[in-house]
Structure 1
Amino acid sequence: MRKRLFPTLLAGLLLIIAAAALALTSPASAAPAATITDAAQALREDPVYVDPAARDQLSVADEKALEATIQNADKPVFVAVLPDTEAFPEEGLLRTLRNDTGITGVYAIRLGDGFNAGADPQVMPTRAVDNLTASVKNPTTATDATAQLNAFVDRAVEQARGTAPASWSGGSGASDEPGAPVSGLITLGALVAAGGAGAYAISRRNKQRKAAEERAALDKLRVVVDEDITAYGEKLERLDFHPAEPGADDTMRGDYERALDSYESAKTKIEKAEHPSDVRGVTQSLEDGRYSLAVLEARRTGAAIPARRPPCFFDPRHGPSVTDVLWTPSGGASREVPVCGADELRLTRGEDPMSRTVDVGDGNRRPYWEAGPAYGPWAGGYFGGGLLPGLLVGTMLGSMLATPAYASEYGGGDFGGGAGGEWGGGDFSGSDFDSSGFGGFGDGGGFGDGGGFGGGDFGGGF
């Protein structure tokens, strides 16, 4: 039975290989893509598409290297290299590519000598897309497609959320190169046989490295958060309030209960934290608790209920801010920051505020905005809702949070906003996705350097 079955299987396998080779060598397969739809269809199978007419922009070897970077990172990053022809009209090109591909992700297009990128907000926040795109549209990389695309991809895979789409086959970019089909088929077989283990090893090594870096960052944050939780617990102990005291009513007891719940919530969340971004929830709970205490104090003294304001910028442990003041960090631009009453008085007198300091690793303590990006999630929980970018612009922490690598390592929701809810990426959305939420560096910029087209590509969603 085995002897009869083996020849049959072998013959079937040979027929499949022959058919594949015939398909690859057929004139139709070597024909250049005529429309953006063809490029989109190719991107459903591989992360990088190079139109045959734009092959001079990116070699097959460089294309494969880009694909390997994206696939090893397991991120939904799509790159299209297209000729600047009538087949690919500038107006709405980026949005059309995203629409026709139908998969949430980060999209980049090299169109002739121009470049543009956009992303679904679930995958990369608006500010991050802007910063990343602007960083590769400079004289150093703009004239070299390979350098520009590598720079973009290297940073995009660090920041993009979600995973690569399941539809990717693992790379077929060489099939659009004339004369490459048969050798490409042989190479593909060799890659499948010999490269699978290597790719797995690289991916595993990258994941282990990232896990180690996240643990180190989380250890830093635990120290700071423990200090915050301790300070809040001490404030609760000093609170001269008892639910059964004369004059206490249900609203006061409710405020007190919320303050206690926030304390327990913060302790539970830090115990369960596994990633740096989890710390946002801890500091958010502490801020909720401090506001509850401020409301309780107002009710007990008969004062007006305080408006819900962000905490004191200089040290969130000071409690909710009472006003905004103009402040200029060392070497930075002036900006308004929320401050508590005590720090407002200090600044009015020309004194330094009582700033929150953290360990910067050399045995010294410095204000948190002069520390590294690990403290971004800590600050993000206190100053959410898009407030943090304006407060930290021009500071060391602000500069680091604005880099594309930040979101991957420490949590993308801390700087520049983003979409609420869970991060996605690599999910099939079809052509009926919410196009108002897709965009990036295009309003007033677009492809090219400081001009060109792109004004209609993004709408107002980003």
Structure 2
Amino acid sequence: MRRNPLSLLAVLAGLVLSALLALAPAAHAQASEGVREAAQALRQGPVYVHPEAAGELPEREAQALERKILDADKPLMVAVLPDTEEFPEETLLRELRTLTGVTGVYAVRLGDAFDAGADRAVMAPQAVGNLVSAVHGPGVDTGTELNAFADQALPQMRGSAPSSWEGVPDAGGTPVGGLITIGVLLAVVAGAVSLTTVRGRNRKRAEEREALEKLRVVVDEDITAYGEELDRLDFQPGDPSADDAQRRDYEGALDAYDKAKQLMAGARHPHDVRGVTEALADGRHALAVLAARREGRPLPERRAPCFFDPRHGPSVTDLTWTPPGGSPRDVPVCAADESRIKAGQDPAARQVATESGPRPYWEAGPAYGPWAGGYYGGALLPGLLVGTMLGTTLATPAYAGEYGGEGFAGGDFSGGDFNASDFGGDFGGGGWGGGDFGGGGDFGGGF
């Protein structure tokens, strides 16, 4: 099984944290015995089935699911639990995450309900929520649901399986003399982590600079194209035929142009580009509204830009499109691309530079994530790009941490091993009525 380059440090950290947890068992006294048992089991393997829920996932199916996760070498933890007071919906996922202490994705079948959560360094909350909605429904049995979730989650996850799954010892108690050893281990880990952090920051800065330069070429082309649209616009605010509404639309279009130029001039990180393309999308919508007012047409609704090239302007409809080797999906298209597709022709796709030559932007790397995200938004984009090269990166830290995905937390991923138990707001996704976990709501939607 592939190991993280820092696996030795991870093992040391795991030993240290296990010992410290043994010294302070009261820290999680509020969790039920059942939750603690489930967490203990998940430190030792990826799948736990509570005895009272054994009928939901037979042993053979549980073993097959466990083998699938182990073969993928990803930190996916799955628990099948009975819907009893011992496993409270409101706190269950966060308690499991805290007590297990493993950075990863946690999927729980609680009776007939299902939900999941993730550390943002492993998978974005929006991606987790989308997967939960996709696999959970009335009448779906536990095995089908969990396997469907694993099949879709594993390719999107970052990180490695925790070392504890390979037999890292779990300290059951720490004698007084062992505190000296713990102190030494902590010092070693702290020094190594400090050095690794410095190297990681330098690497990240270099990658960000390279990504920003790629984006600068594309965004400058977009700004230039929008400026040319403004130059071609036959509108004079002082014309007697112009009314106040038209003048406001025109001013909004000009303001968007100025804003885009200013934001791009001040961009220092890839995620700064998102504001630039958001401004350009706002400006093109203002132009579309202005044109409708001048021509006496109904004002257009606010729609996403044309999927194939945002420079085409706001879309006019959604059409089913299938990328090479991918699955069909509905994408927003402009009138010109609608005509091309209906005529059996290829749409006019936006090309960007790649190592293999010019390719459509959805076949490029994660550097183009914030550029596309500004046009289409974090919630819409994954569905449009599912199965494409860019789409597979949207739920990973390569996009979220380094390239600025919506609602994602940055930072390098530590490798799926033991971490501290105070996670703040960095664990989220899935259901519970939306948002991050720990806030109540229905578990899995009440199916």
Q: Same fold, TM exceeding 0.5?
A: yes
Question: SS where residue 117 of structure 2 aligns?
Answer: strand
CA distance in 2, matches of 1:232, 1:268: 14
Q: 2:374 pairs with 369, 378, 381, which one?
A: 381
Q: What is the RMSD of the two structures over their aligned residues, measured on CA atoms?
A: 4.9
CA contact (8 A) 2:257 2:280 kept: yes
Partner residue, 1:274: 268
Q: 1:244 pairs with 238, 241, 256, which one?
A: 238
Structure 1 residue 356 displacement after superposition: 0.7
1:458 matched to 2:443? The reply is yes
1:427 matched to 2:436? The reply is no
Partner residue, 2:208: 214
Partner residue, 1:149: 162
Partner residue, 1:372: 365
CA distance in 2, matches of 1:193, 1:242: 70
CA distance in 1, matches of 2:423, 2:233: 50
CA distance in 1, matches of 2:302, 2:88: 42
Counterpart code for 1:149 = P
Q: 1:96 pairs with 92, 115, 119, which one?
A: 92
Matches of residues 73-92 of structure 1 in structure 2 within 5 Å? Answer: 91-92=87-88
Q: 1:290 pairs with 280, 284, 303, which one?
A: 284
CA distance in 1, matches of 2:163, 2:23: 30
CA contact (8 A) 1:119 1:439 kept: no
Where in structure 1 are there 5+ consecutive unaligned residues? 1-23, 42-48, 59-78, 153-172, 441-455
CA contact (8 A) 1:321 1:339 kept: yes
Partner residue, 2:255: 261
Structure 1 residue 243 displacement after superposition: 0.9
Structure 1 residue 283 displacement after superposition: 0.6
Question: SS where residue 336 of structure 1 aligns?
Answer: strand
Question: SS where residue 148 of structure 1 aligns?
Answer: coil
When the two structures are aligned, how many residues end up with a matched partner? 351
Partner residue, 1:177: 172
Question: SS where residue 213 of structure 1 aligns?
Answer: helix
Counterpart code for 2:380 = L
Please say which structure displays the higher CA radius of gyration: 1
Partner residue, 2:117: 118
Indicate the larger mover: 379-388 or 89-98.
89-98
Structure 1 residue 329 displacement after superposition: 1.6
Structure 1 residue 237 displacement after superposition: 1.2
Counterpart code for 1:401 = L
CA distance in 1, matches of 2:177, 2:274: 52
Structure 1 residue 222 displacement after superposition: 1.2
CA distance in 2, matches of 1:245, 1:394: 50
The alignment-based identity, stated in percent, is 50
Structure 1 residue 345 displacement after superposition: 1.7
CA distance in 1, matches of 2:186, 2:436: 36
CA distance in 2, matches of 1:339, 1:213: 33
Counterpart code for 2:402 = E
Counterpart code for 2:94 = R
CA contact (8 A) 2:256 2:280 kept: yes
TM-score, normalization by structure 2: 0.63
CA distance in 2, matches of 1:30, 1:121: 27
Q: 1:307 to 1:40 in 2, by over 3 A?
A: same
Where in structure 2 are there 5+ consecutive unaligned residues? 1-18, 47-74, 109-113, 133-145, 412-421
CA contact (8 A) 2:237 2:247 kept: yes
